[in-house]
Chain A
Amino acid sequence: MNPLNDDQLNELLRRSKEEPPQVSAGFNARVMQAYQRQLTSSHFHWRRLLASAALILVGVAADRALLITRADSVVTDRATVHPCTNSLNVPGLEKQEHQR
């Protein structure tokens, strides 16, 4: 069988162009759903990032608060310590100290 000539091939291609393929029914809805899913997942991603950042900030704040509280309590402890003026009078203790 002889191959087509240029004109015949051009004619077939031209007629084929006039009958373009069509998307299937339901394709638009499928794409719109995929778009919504993508949006939701990207918003979810941002929410997760924000939640993580908030958690870190809370942790840092709590740590600082704890440090400040500890520092205050140390100062308070030091402030309330008074030198002991009464000597401890335990019989035998002084002697043992001298013997060492």
Chain B
Amino acid sequence: MTVEEESRLLKRAAGGQTEAFRMLFEHHRDAVFRLAYRLTGAQQVAEDATQECFLALLRHPDRFDARRGTLRQYLSGAVRNLARQHYHASAREVPLDEEPLHFEIEELISRDLSAAVQDAIGTLPPLQREAIVLFEFEEMSLDEIAGASGCDAGTVKSRLHRARARLKRLLAPYWDRERVCHEPTE
């Protein structure tokens, strides 16, 4: 879908044309939801954030400026803001960039791979989580993440390093289990 098509659909959707909204929503839904889920770690919260992103876009369609980026980038920014609001609302006591959170290794090992990785990411402090999700899953560059997070690339690199170090420790038992499970039996 080109930028012009998206802008046209957005105008029509904001004007009340349900079919235009459906097309926009179905085109971007999965990417927006995946990002929301990886940042918040909760299905319901991620779905609420995804819904709010689209509805807010239609309430203020003029806030999206196609010259400054694509609609996907705009929606990603909106999701990141909502995820941050969620951190602040639900975990005021957790410092954004400090050591975390309670975590059960046994619980992790019993999950399937995708859920286990998501759980491990969910234990990271929010700013480290944001950095690793944007870098590893959204495939953004250090500079792009720095721009989106409002810090310099060196800070992003440091967050990524700490996040990866923690994930290496957390997922080590899971790697061993996976290896045992996938070894050929005689």
Contacts and interface: CB of A to CB of B under 8 A. Distances in A.
Interface in A20-37: 20-21, 23-24, 27-28, 30-32, 34-36
A23 B137 contact: no
Q: How many residues of A sit at the interface, in one of the four size bands?
A: 20 to 34
Contacts of A3: 165, 168-169, 172
Interface of A: 1-6, 8-9, 12-13, 15-17, 19-21, 23-24, 27-28, 30-32, 34-36, 38-39, 42-43
Which 5 pairs from chain A and chain B are nearest by CB? Answer: A16-B117, A19-B114, A3-B168, A4-B168, A21-B37
Given A15-B113, A16-B113, A30 B175 contact: no
A21 B113 contact: no
Nearest to B56: A38
Contacts of B30: 20, 23
A2 B110 CA distance: 19
A19 B168 contact: no
A90 to B, nearest CB: 81
Given A3-B168, A5-B168, A32-B22, A17 B137 contact: yes
Given A24-B43, A27-B47, A35-B55, A13 B16 contact: no
Nearest to A40: B16
A58 to B, nearest CB: 28
A8 B175 contact: yes
Interface of B: 16, 18, 21-22, 25-26, 29-30, 33-34, 37-38, 43, 46-47, 50-51, 54-55, 58-59, 112-114, 117-118, 136-137, 164-165, 167-169, 171-176
Contacts of A35: 18, 21, 25, 54-55, 58
A20 B34 contact: yes
Given A3-B168, A38-B59, A21 B114 contact: yes
B16 A39 contact: yes
B117 A31 contact: no
A47 to B, nearest CB: 14
Contacts of B51: 30-31, 34
Given A13-B136, A35-B55, A4 B18 contact: no
19 contacts: A3-B172, A5-B168, A9-B164, A9-B171, A13-B117, A13-B136, A15-B113, A19-B113, A21-B38, A21-B118, A24-B43, A27-B50, A28-B25, A30-B51, A31-B25, A32-B18, A32-B25, A35-B58, A38-B55
